A and B are shown apart, each in its own frame.
Chain A
């Protein structure tokens, strides 16, 4: 190796390492794309993946609910705030079911099947849940912490986002908005 090539190779190696570090941090950083689009009322199309239905061999995706309002809720049995909002989501399910306008769709995140089933039984939840085993759907939605809820209108667009526990006021307003768009 020529003497002048040594600093060049060293700089190249350091630059490659820094680039890798930046990529790693950016890839794992917070993704606020959906939040910003919703805030600007430029409602983005809801990401969709076919995922196994909890307690069944079937799979389900948002395409199965085309033309309906969907309250997509990421949850897990180990998440304490999820327990607080479970009755609110069940009430939303009753409302959507009775009017025929749509459904709540739960997405379990890093949760064992048996624990998720125990949670559903404990809170008497009647809406379906799918299992996001590899966390890809959560990644699509920029989900970093539970619970998170996305309200999707009949055109499959996200019209409301809650990165935290939902209350009755948020859910009612978000469903009204989804029905109105």
Chain B
């Protein structure tokens, strides 16, 4: 079985108009930047994106947004993206905001075959409107649905040719859950190594979840907020 593809363009070859795609990353940290750029080049339209943020103006998912490729976005925080805010207020994009923990758990559940679960998060707020609630041990919980996608685009630090992945520091974030919740999961890695080179005890995402893998062509690894202390 050959999972390795040559590059990002080959990896996204069958992403179709109207597809639902999960995109890993917390802001620009740990996002699959090569796959995003390839999707922009491909020009796929009417995408429904599931990603914590929409990048920033001019980077990350912000590129897809600026190219007019997203019609519906599901995420938890979009404060870094002026264009999105304008589009939402004008009504040119549909935005579903989900509490970040609920968002993570919905994706985890989706990948784990759990169609719905109850959480205390958001009870009594707008996000619980119209949803089933139930009391357990004297506390009210709201039912949230699992999420899956046609494609999950993830970024890892190292990966082997079979698709085992290891993430690095806070670049892990949503990537492991998304890898489990895509019908087709595509991983871009900074270092692609041979099978057997990674320690099996250190694998974060086992190969079973990954359908395609490649070494990214270009990692800008942009920093959103460079904050420093005096030496």
A is bound by B: no
Name B residues whose Cβ lies closer than 8 Å to a Cβ of A.
Answer: none
Name A residues whose Cβ lies closer than 8 Å to a Cβ of B.
Answer: none
